[in-house]
């Protein structure tokens, strides 16, 4: 009987030790494999962001003392879904995609960029200088002749804000219900600017900061484009973290962004620096998204 008890005890001890060994091994493997992943919206279709993203990746890897991977997603919604399904730890959102991600998965804004020292931008509606319209009112008088372009359907300045303005003026309700000759979505701000410049459309909606960035980079000719409408101030694009992110990690990320002086990184976002962002900064966008039925109150 003693032999049986001793045998059972030894077997139990072996099982406990094996389980502890597996647990320790699993923890070690997680530490070895842990990577902080960041998703970025395609604010522009140009490929010059590669150098900037590589440099930012190196900067954040050093700050967090863990591997950081940054991926530019093909569309805005892809970044929201990646955060929603725990595929990424942090994301660079547009304001609209941020409030959607916040509603869906609790994403929290922690950083935004400064443009000329201010964390604000506008939505523009632009047209070619060959066109006679000098204001949105003038353009809408000829709406039946106008081919209009939005950017990505999930863009704040390229879709949400201008679409509300056009709805209030009773010329646009949806892509299939409007008083324009045609409505299209280009997918990005630079594509919209080029479509206007090349007279493929008569007018389009665009982010003011990206517009200025495209002009400064010589990607569009300012002499061929005029701004005929400007929205109220919008708070800049947020960098947001997963809802379960530790405060210590958030502070390391904020300190790393605040210290960035590399021109390649700053220029990629048309930024003069970075500053803190909070969920409250996007309340007006949240209310606009609720008005459009994009998220629930």
Q: How far apart are CA 169 and CA 198, in angstroms?
A: 27
Q: How far apart are CA 118 and CA 275, in angstroms?
A: 9
Q: What is the pLDDT of residue 41?
A: 86
Identify the structural domains of the chain with CATH numbers, from first to last.
36-119+236-291 (3.40.190.10), 123-231 (3.40.190.10)
Q: How far apart are CA 54 and CA 199, in angstroms?
A: 35
Q: pLDDT by residue for the chain (297 residues), tens digit each?
A: 444 443 444 344 334 334 444 433 333 232 443 899 999 987 654 456 788 999 999 999 999 999 999 998 888 889 999 999 999 999 999 999 999 999 999 999 999 999 989 999 999 999 999 999 999 999 999 999 999 999 999 999 999 999 999 999 999 999 999 999 999 999 999 999 999 999 999 999 999 999 998 999 899 999 999 999 999 999 999 999 999 999 999 999 999 999 999 999 998 888 999 999 999 999 999 999 999 999 998
Instruction: Evaluate the CA torsion angle 212, 216, 219, 221 in order and state its sign.
Output: positive
Name the token pair of 166.
């056009």
Q: What is the pLDDT of residue 25?
A: 36
β-pair type (35-40, 67-72): parallel
Q: How far apart are CA 186 and CA 189, in angstroms?
A: 8
Whole-structure pTM over 0.85, yes or no?
no
DSSP letter string, 17-57: HHHHHHHHHHHHHHHHH-EEEEEE--S---STHHHHHHHHH
Dihedral, CA atoms, 146, 151, 153, 159, nearest 10 degrees? -70
DSSP letter for 223, please: G
DSSP letter for 236, please: P
> Can you say whether residue 218 is alpha, beta or left, with left for phi > 0 and alpha for psi between -120 and 50 degrees?
left
């Amino acid at each position: 009987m003693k032999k049986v008890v001793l045998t059972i005890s030894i077997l139990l001890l072996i099982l406990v030790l094996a389980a502890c060994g597996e647990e320790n091994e699993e923890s070690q493997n997680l530490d070895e494999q842990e990577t902080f992943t960041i998703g970025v919206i395609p604010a522009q279709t140009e490929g010059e962001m590669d150098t900037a993203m590589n440099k930012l990746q190196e900067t954040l890897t050093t700050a967090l003392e863990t591997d950081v991977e940054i991926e530019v997603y093909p569309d805005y919604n892809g970044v929201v879904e990646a955060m929603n399904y725990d595929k990424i730890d942090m994301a660079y959102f547009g304001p609209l995609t941020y409030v959607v991600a916040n509603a869906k998965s609790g994403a929290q804004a922690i950083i935004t960029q400064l443009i000329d020292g201010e964390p604000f931008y506008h939505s523009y509606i632009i047209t070619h200088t060959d066109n006679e319209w000098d204001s949105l009112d003038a353009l809408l008088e000829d709406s039946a002749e106008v081919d209009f372009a939005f950017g990505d359907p999930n863009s704040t300045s390229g879709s949400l804000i201008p679409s509300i303005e056009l709805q209030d003026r009773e010329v646009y309700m949806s892509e299939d219900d409007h008083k324009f000759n045609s409505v299209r979505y280009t997918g990005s701000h630079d594509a919209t600017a080029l479509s206007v410049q090349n007279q493929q459309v008569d007018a389009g909606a665009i982010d003011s900061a990206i517009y200025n960035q495209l002009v400064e980079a010589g990607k569009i000719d300012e002499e061929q484009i005029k701004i005929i409408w400007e929205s109220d101030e919008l708070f800049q694009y947020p960098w947001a973290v997963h809802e379960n992110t530790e405060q210590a990690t958030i502070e390391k990320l904020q300190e790393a962004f605040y210290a960035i002086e590399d021109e390649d990184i700053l220029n990629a976002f048309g930024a003069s620096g970075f500053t803190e962002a909070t969920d409250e900064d996007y309340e007006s966008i949240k209310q606009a998204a609720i008005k459009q039925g994009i998220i629930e109150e």
